[in-house]
């Protein structure tokens, strides 16, 4: 089993004829994802790689292909409209890879998507992968393997590093989810932790956080109160100076709430194993997974 995507995922690629969209569409198709349609306004009727039909609108693509998921690779000025168009078309899962979406745009997008019952992952995220079943986004399939570990992360590159270590150690994954590090995103740690707790195939979870905000502390409280499965964590940015942006737009420390020390303390209070380096996640899991 897995969370959010599986063998039944039927995927649209919004922006399939652009540089990033075309490159990653090929990667997803090669991995085995059912890419059933692309959307580029003005290019309806064409085909991508001579196989995937291209439509002018998401609504047309959904109607003709029965798609249930979309991944968005469009420039930041158009990403908000792309997300809302996908929600209007009735898609259950919307994954936005685009970086640099204005926060003001997301204040409109988030309630719009929520009101239509869709799940949004991102923006500014690497997407997700259920190894051996489906890949939606940019997480490299070659570093993943099927197995019992769920992973959720705010950091794209740390997702890749930890997954690589897990796979090398023989700890495959049910699903790896990159939720993105922007101040407003569609799916948070708790959403993913709850889904992993309910997933029978997931035996333990890795949570990768970073400085800024209080999402990690809230997630740690959820782990302590609601989860029976073991969770191990890592916090990026432990040497970051206060008041300085480090990488993601949400990685800004304000007072003491967003510091690495405060987040690590919350993890420890929840009984989570806390890694000092990403590679230490492997040993922490091995102690907890039977």
pLDDT digit string (tens) for 197-233? 999 999 999 999 998 889 999 999 999 999 999 999 9
Q: What are phi and psi of 139, to 5 degrees?
A: -65, 125
In the chain, where the domains are located: 10-121, 139-288
Q: What is the pLDDT of residue 215?
A: 94
Share of the chain above pLDDT 70, in %: 93
Tell me the chain's radius of gyration from C-alpha atoms: 18
Residues 6+ away with beta carbon under 8 Å from 121:
4, 93, 94, 95, 96, 127, 128, 177, 178, 179, 180, 185, 186, 187
pLDDT at 213: 85
CA 36 from centre of chain: 21
Q: How many distinct helices (H) and strands (E) make up the chain?
A: 9, 14
CA dist 278 to 12, 204, 233, 248, Å?
A: 33, 16, 9, 18
Domains 10-121 and 139-288 in one fold: yes
Residues 236, 209: contact at Cβ < 8 Å? yes
Tell me whether strands 273-275 and 173-178 are parallel, antiparallel or unpaired. unpaired
Asked if 69 and 5 touch (Cβ cutoff 8 Å), the reply is yes
State residue 211's pLDDT score.
87
- Predicted pLDDT of residue 245: 52
Q: Residue 241 has what pLDDT?
A: 61
Instruction: Look at the block and give the residue holding tokens 């090929």.
Output: 26
Question: What pLDDT score does 108 carry?
Answer: 98
**Marked catalytic residue, from 135, 203, 248, 263:** 248
pLDDT of residue 240: 57
Out of 3.40.50.1950, 3.40.50.720, 3.40.1190.20, 3.40.50.970, the CATH code matching 10-121 is 3.40.50.720
Q: Is 36 helix (H, G, I), strand (E, B) or coil?
A: strand
Low-confidence spans in the chain with pLDDT less than 50: 251, 253-254
> Does residue 24 carry a catalytic annotation?
no
User: What's the pTM value of the predicted model, to 2 decimals?
Assistant: 0.94
Write the pLDDT tens digit of every residue in 24-64: 999 999 999 999 999 999 999 999 999 999 999 999 999 99
Q: What homologous superfamily is domain 139-288 in, according to CATH?
A: Succinyl-CoA synthetase domains (3.40.50.261)
Contact call for residues 150 and 192 (beta carbons, < 8 A): yes
pLDDT on residue 239: 59
Contact 211, 251 (CB under 8 A): yes
d(CA 104, CA 134): 32
């Amino acid at each position: 089993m897995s969370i959010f995507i599986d063998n039944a995922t039927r995927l649209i690629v919004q922006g399939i004829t652009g540089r990033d969209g075309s490159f990653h569409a090929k990667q997803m198709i090669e991995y085995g994802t059912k890419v059933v349609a692309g959307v580029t306004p003005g290019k309806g009727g064409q085909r991508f790689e001579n196989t995937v039909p291209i439509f002018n609108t998401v609504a047309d693509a959904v109607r003709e292909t029965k798609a249930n998921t979309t991944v968005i690779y469009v420039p930041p000025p158009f990403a908000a409209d792309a997300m809302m168009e996908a929600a209007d078309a009735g898609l259950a899962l919307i994954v936005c890879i685009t970086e640099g979406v204005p926060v003001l745009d997301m204040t409109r997008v988030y309630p719009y998507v929520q009101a239509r019952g869709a799940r949004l992952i991102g923006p500014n995220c690497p997407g997700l992968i259920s190894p051996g079943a489906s890949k939606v986004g940019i997480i490299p399939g070659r570093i993943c393997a099927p197995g019992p570990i769920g992973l959720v992360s705010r950091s794209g590159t740390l997702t890749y590093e930890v997954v690589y270590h897990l796979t090398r150690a023989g700890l495959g994954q049910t699903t790896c989810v990159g939720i993105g590090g922007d101040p407003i995103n569609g799916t948070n740690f708790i959403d993913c932790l709850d889904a992993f707790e309910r997933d029978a195939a997931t035996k333990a979870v890795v949570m990768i956080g970073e400085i800024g905000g209080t999402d990690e502390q809230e997630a740690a409280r959820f782990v302590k109160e609601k989860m029976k499965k073991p969770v191990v964590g890592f916090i990026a940015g432990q040497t970051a100076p206060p008041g300085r942006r480090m990488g993601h737009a949400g990685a800004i420390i304000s007072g003491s709430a967003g510091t690495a020390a405060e987040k690590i303390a919350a993890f420890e209070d929840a009984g989570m194993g806390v890694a000092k380096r990403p590679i230490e996640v492997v040993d922490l899991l091995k102690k907890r997974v039977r």
